[in-house]
Structures are given as structure tokens and as C-alpha cells.
Structure 1
Amino acid sequence: MLPTLAELLLLPAFTGAEVRSGQARLGAPVTWVHVSEISDAARFLSGGELLLSTGTPLAGGDGGAYIRSLAGGGAHGLALELVREVREVPPEALEAARETGFPLIVFRQEVSFAELTRAAHARILRPPVAAPPSLSPVTDALNETGRAADFVAAHLGAVLALPPRPRLILLDTLGALLGCNFNVAEAARSLGVRRQTVYYRLEQLRAMLGDLNDPRRQLGLLLALDLSRDR
């Protein structure tokens, strides 16, 4: 899936970027990133590009017409490094960007266009993450054969016997741990708690459920969690 302009701006290479216009369109996908210093760049666009420039096309020309040509040509943004010939966005260019809702981004410090394009293209070309296979055929079969309740009790009985609050906390923690291959730091981030808290809860889970390292055991727990949510 292509990244949005907003996602690219979160990359470390884009630190310091200031969005001057087009905030409502930061969710548009970016197909590619080009460095362009020519005033008729629009005729080379195929749509969805983010252009990088030092502002040369805005110097001594009609900045408003340039911005409108990019917006009309399908570009999804223009990032300007304002440290050399052009140190501020010309008023007519900024006005055109705001009128058209065109994302205009500025860097007020020197940046490496090579690093920007490299970081952006690495994100654009990242292969999509395959969705994990669904467990629903197995859980459906357990439900249809009337064995779901016994299966859940066999795998989660000790936790389900707890009062509501600790039961919910430990089930949520178990789900988070299973979802990240028992990476405690990642589980802590997803739950919004400290790592020490997750370690403590993990010890509680081990005391009640036994060995959690066996892949077959983990699969059973995943199925039991799905079934318990359905119930």
C-alpha cells in the first residue's frame, strides 16, 4: 500500500518539515518523489508525485501559476528548501496553494534531497505485509460441534475464573503478547503500560496457564481467546 504524504512527513529524513497549506490533503497517497527545478514540471507528471525543489521555479516567475500547474497536473505536494536563492514562499504561490488545497511544505534548514528521496522510496517500495491467516474456520468448527466451551475452559480456565477486572487485564495482556511473539516492549506499547507491568502480568499468566513457549500451546491460546471474545 502506498504511503500517504502525512506518513512520509513522519520519516526521520523529513524532520523539520513545515506544512504551509493543503493540510486536508495530507492523506493522499504518494506514488514517487522527484527533484525538480524547472517551471514546466507539470507536463512530466503522471500523478501522485511529491516534488522537491530549492524554489528556483518560484524565483522571478509567476509562482501562483507554477503551483496551479502542479496541482492541475496531479502532483500531491511540493517541498521547498528555503535556504538559498529563495528564502520565503512568494505570497502569490502561497495564496494559490491555499486556494487549490495543494500541500506546500517548507524546510528552513538545509536538507539532503538524496536522503529524502531514498527514505521516501524505501517506504513506497516496501512490500505489503501479508495478513495472517484467519482462525475462523477452526473456531467455527469448534462452535458448530459444541466443543468451544470445553476448549476455552481447557486453555483459559484459570484466568476465566478470576473476578472481572483482573480477568480482563490478563486476557488483554495475553492477547497483546501473542500478537507480537511475546515481545514485552512491543506489548507494553500496545497496552500503554510499563514493561515491568507486562513482565509482572506474564509471570501471573505462566503461573496459571503453565508453559507459554510451545508454539502449539500458543496456537491453542489464540483460538481460545477468539472463542472467549465471541462468547
Structure 2
Amino acid sequence: MSLPTLRQILELPAFASAEILSGQTKLDNYITWVHVAEVLDVARLLSGGELVLCTGLELARSSPEARVAYVRSLAEAGVGGLGLELVRWLQEVPTEMLQTARMLQFPILVFRTEVRFAELTRAAHERILRPAPGPEEPLLEALVEALVETGRDKRFLDGQLGAVLRLPSRPRSTLLATLEALLSAQFNIAETARRLGVRRQSVYYRLEQLRGMLGDLESLERRFGLWVALELLKRGASG
């Protein structure tokens, strides 16, 4: 598992509307997790590297001094950045907050239209937890080798992909390719369709097939297991 930088998080389709207002020199810092929090004392609960998202509900009610203290507390806690939705409670980042953030080189990013924080956190967490295929990812390499060396690779494959692997060759290949594309695109249907060169309706149809055969595809643990299983298949452990 390779932690993404803030820059890489912002490149995800879910973050396409984000605008960076400060902290541009910190975009290559790693992001460890994403939290949605409105309380102004959230920094005491964090361990560093997090991206904090909020609508500005409490900030809109607070004094300029409290807002400055909030930004300082996040920066001092090593937080990776603050994402503000400028829709309901705030229409602009308060001047004192932006000045403080720029002085501290603390990243503030804003969304000027309504966004779904659930989608932002899901996309970011999938990127954070997703193994990057290839020799540069020692964790995935170690997991695959451990499964093979202990003789548990075939049982693991059956547990993760058994229903699909028992299909005839053509539908099996189609669904496996679709699953890999979905995982790579963080289940973004439009991006998956683009990668596969098919219509979005085809992706929706195949996704329903996959859900019917494999069950839960939503949890991060499940998706990680599927990544490992697909890597095992590439290495010929399908027998």
C-alpha cells in the first residue's frame, strides 16, 4: 500500500472541482486519511497527515480569533489540508483564515458548488488503501508470495473470485477485466467505461453481475482482497 500525496488525491475524479487557495508547496505531502469534522477542536483527535473536510458551520459562527486558532491548530497537528465547502454557511474563506494559512503554508482547498463528502472520503480512502500493482509495491508482492508459499493461494482465489472463475472463458475474461478496471478507477463508471472502450450501460450491467456473484464490493477490505486475487491470477495461480 502506497500513501498518496495531496496532489494525487486532488487528481481523483471526485475532487475535480476542488480549488487550491494556499499551501501549494505542501501538495506533495502524504495523506493518511480523510475526516469530516465541523468542530473547531478536531486537531486534538488527529495524528497527522489527515485531510479534514467541513462545510464551515462552526466557522461561520466563530470569531476571527477562533478561526485563526483553528487553522493554527490544524497546521501544528501536522494535518495535510483543510477542504471547505463554500455553499451554505460560508461563501468565501474568511480573510484571517486565508492569511494565516498562507503564512503557515497550510493547504486550504475549497469547493464552490455542493459536493458529497461521502463520495470524497470513499474515493480518497480507496486510493489510500489501494495497492499499486507492480514491483514498486512491496506489500502486494509480499502478500502474493506469502499466499503462494503457504499453499493458500487457490483457496484465497476461490474465496474472493470463485463464482466468476467457474464461468466459461469468455464471460469470465469479460467480468475479470471489468472488475480490474472498476478497481483501478475507484468504481467511477464513466472512467471504467472509457478504459474498457464500452458504453456506461455495459459497465452498470456487468457491475450488477459482479455484485450478484461476488456479493459485497463496497468495503475497502473487500476491494483490497480483490486486488490481491487479481494479482494472483496474473501470476498463474488460477489452477
TM superposition score category, shorter chain reference: 0.5 to 0.7
Equivalent in the alignment of 2:18: 17
Does structure 2 conserve the Cα–Cα contact (< 8 Å) formed by 1:48 and 1:75? yes
Q: What TM-score does the superposition give when structure 1 sets the normalisation length?
A: 0.56
1:118-157 alignment to 2 at 5 Å? 118-131=122-135
**Identity in percent:** 58
Q: What TM-score does the superposition give when structure 2 sets the normalisation length?
A: 0.54
More relative contact order, 1 or 2 (CA 8 Å, 6+ apart): 2
Residue 128 of structure 1, CA deviation: 3.5
Equivalent in the alignment of 1:212: none
Does structure 2 conserve the Cα–Cα contact (< 8 Å) formed by 1:50 and 1:75? yes
Residue 57 of structure 1, CA deviation: 3.3
In the alignment, the residues of structure 2 paired with residue 18 and residue 130 of structure 1 have an alpha-carbon distance, to the nearest angstrom, of 32
1:47-126 alignment to 2 at 5 Å? 47-61=48-62, 62-126=66-130
The structure with the largest alpha-carbon Rg is 1
2:44 partner SS: helix
Query: Please, what is the CA RMSD of the aligned residues?
Result: 1.4
Q: Point out 4+ residue stretches in structure 1 off by more than 2 angstroms.
A: none
In the alignment, the residues of structure 1 paired with residue 50 and residue 116 of structure 2 have an alpha-carbon distance, to the nearest angstrom, of 18
- Count the aligned residue pairs: 133
In the alignment, the residues of structure 2 paired with residue 23 and residue 56 of structure 1 have an alpha-carbon distance, to the nearest angstrom, of 25
Aligned residue identity for 2:93: V
Residue 16 of structure 1, CA deviation: 1.0
Residue 79 of structure 1, CA deviation: 0.3
Question: Residue by residue, what CA displacement relative to the aligned partner does 1:130-161 show, whole Å, maximum 9, x if unpaired?
Answer: 318xxxxxxxxxxxxxxxxxxxxxxxxxxxxx
Aligned residue identity for 2:125: H
In the alignment, the residues of structure 2 paired with residue 96 and residue 57 of structure 1 have an alpha-carbon distance, to the nearest angstrom, of 18
In the alignment, the residues of structure 1 paired with residue 18 and residue 43 of structure 2 have an alpha-carbon distance, to the nearest angstrom, of 23
In the alignment, the residues of structure 2 paired with residue 97 and residue 23 of structure 1 have an alpha-carbon distance, to the nearest angstrom, of 11
Residue 28 of structure 1, CA deviation: 0.3
1:59 partner SS: helix
Aligned: 1:29 with 2:30:
yes
In the alignment, the residues of structure 2 paired with residue 64 and residue 6 of structure 1 have an alpha-carbon distance, to the nearest angstrom, of 25
Residue 95 of structure 1, CA deviation: 0.7
Question: Residue by residue, what CA displacement relative to the aligned partner does 1:33-62 show, whole Å, maximum 9, x if unpaired?
Answer: 000000100000011000000012321322
Question: Residue by residue, what CA displacement relative to the aligned partner does 1:78-102 show, whole Å, maximum 9, x if unpaired?
Answer: 0000100111100110011001100
Does structure 2 conserve the Cα–Cα contact (< 8 Å) formed by 1:82 and 1:106? yes
Does structure 2 conserve the Cα–Cα contact (< 8 Å) formed by 1:57 and 1:63? no
Residue 127 of structure 1, CA deviation: 1.4
